[in-house]
Amino acid sequence: MVLHFEELLKQITEFIRTEAKTETVVGEQFKLGEFICVPVIKIGMGFGSGEGEGIEKKTKTGYGMGAGAGMGIEPLGFLVTKGEEISFIEAGKAHGLAAAFEKVPDMIEKIYENRGKAKETA
């Protein structure tokens, strides 16, 4: 069996070129009021292969091979433009008022815990 590594790599590269785009992962750029938002992604990939020969007792021959590949795609955020200004907003990270609202449930829980402790000691 012959492993056509160059042909396989060419096919994988073509697949990545056509499919691993922000448009197919998170969508196209869009306009929000005066802002133009462009999604940004990160792509990571790895390849590995190996082969070997050995002697099998009955036939006195042996050969083995294997290959593998992995790929990960992650949305990072958005490039946002307004006029000549450009900024980057991270995906999954809360900023400003949104970050404060994320902390509210924890703060409420601590308030109730402290009230309960105060009642126990009174």
Domain ranges of the chain: 5-91, 92-122
Token pair 């998170």: residue: 26
Q: What pairs with residue 46 in β-bridges?
A: 70
* Alpha helical stretches, state H, 1-122: 5-19, 22-25, 97-121
- State pLDDT tens for residues 61-118: 777 888 777 888 888 888 888 888 888 888 876 655 555 556 666 767 777 777 777 7
- The DSSP letter of residue 2 is -
Q: What is the pTM of this model?
A: 0.49
